[in-house]
Amino acid sequence: TYLPFDWDEYLRETKSIAAPYECFKQAVTFPQNEFKIGMKLEALDPRNVTSTCIATVVYIQGLRLRLRLDGSDNKNDFWRLVDSSEIHTIGYCEKSGGMLQPPLGFRMNASSWPMFLLKTLNGAEMAPSKIFQREPPGPRTNLFQIGQKLEAVDKKNPQLICCATVGNIKQDQIYVTFDGWRGAFDYWCRYDSRDIFPCGWCAKTGHPLQPPGQKNAAGNNRFKGRTLTVVNTSDIQSPEADTSAPPPPPITVYVYKTCTGGPLVDVTQ
């Protein structure tokens, strides 16, 4: 069974507060997710947002859909909420005077697109319009404050939603920092991004939440100490050590913040 992350305990431990619900462009009453794997719909090509393409639902997680553009490869899947404004029922594009486009990186010759389109839609299960949800309105201004906690999509691993903190604010942008990670995944986004959620959103919508990582600078991690890596275990010698044996693999040790380490400990790790 899946134990949801204990936000209350974590907020207490880190002496921090959760960003209030009003900060987010997310539904207050949760819509149902009635999409099914295999259903087809229209989606904007995330790599070329002026194009509307055919997409297939390849996976479902809580209120999110994992989508793959028809005619594209499986390396460019992306995720959308069931109440995203970027997905529509098939026929929507044409009704609004547009034309379905091949995805960026279409596997075949562009001239085969019309035939490909016919074939991909022939006999397909099209997502019915009643299961698409209206996008929530969202706040009119940036209400976030530095230090507030939230849940955020890791854009480099977009299947993951993780514990995060507002690290900075600039006009209508917030800087999302991932708790317990060193900064490689952090990003700026608009306050009304659909990739950020209030604490507890994952648990309530049936989506897994990644707990904080264990590599930590700011002390906002449940282990309270820094994570340090022993960099050179071969320097650890006892009189009876067998010098011909291969060195043991590196290990991770948890050290209290007050500990300054020693020559074997690389505090920059």
Q: Does 179 bind ligand MLY (CB under 6 A)?
A: no
Q: Whose Cβ is closer to ligand MLY: residue 42's or residue 179's?
A: 179
What is the smallest separation between the CB atom of 206 and ligand MLY, expressed in angstroms? 19
For residue 162, the one-letter residue type is C
Closest distance of CB 26 from ligand MLY, Å: 20
Total residue count of the chain as it appears in this document: 269
Instruction: Report which residue type is found at 133.
Output: Q
Specify the amino acid at residue 68: R
Residues of this chain, 70-99, that bind ligand MLY according to CB under 6 A: none
The pair of three-digit structure tokens given for residue 59, joined into one six-digit string: 């996976």
- Using CB under 6 A as the binding rule, whether residue 185 contacts ligand MLY is answered as yes
Rounded distance between C-alpha atoms, residue 157 and residue 213, angstroms: 14
- Sign of the torsion angle spanned by Cα atoms 121, 81, 168, 22: positive
Give all strands of the β-sheet with 78-81 in edge-to-edge order: 78-81, 64-69, 48-61, 40-45, 87-88
Binder to ligand MLY among 10, 35, 181, 201 (CB under 6 A)?
181
Amino acid at residue number 62 = G
Letters for 199-228 (x = contact with ligand MLY by CB under 6 A, - = none) are -----------x------------------
Q: Of 106 and 181, which has the nearer Cβ to ligand MLY?
A: 181
Q: How far is the CB of 88 from ligand MLY (least distance, A)?
A: 31
Residue 122 CA to residue 119 CA, distance in Å, equals 5
Number of chain residues interacting with ligand MLY (CB under 6 A):
8
Q: Which of 193, 231, 225 is nearest to 86 (CA)?
A: 193
List Cβ neighbours of 225 (8 Å cut-off, separation of 6 or more): 254, 255, 256, 257, 259
User: Considering only residues 133-162, where is the footprint of ligand MLY by CB under 6 A?
Assistant: 154, 157, 160, 162
Q: Of the candidates 24, 106, 178, 191, which one interacts with ligand MLY according to CB under 6 A?
A: 178
| Choice between 141 and 157, CB closer to ligand MLY | 157
In angstroms, give the least distance from the CB of 247 to ligand MLY: 24
Nearer to ligand MLY, 104 or 189 (CB): 189
C-alpha to C-alpha distance for 51 and 98, rounded to whole angstroms: 9
Smallest gap from residue 5 Cβ to ligand MLY (A): 13
Residues interacting with ligand MLY, by CB under 6 A? 154, 157, 160, 162, 178, 181, 185, 210
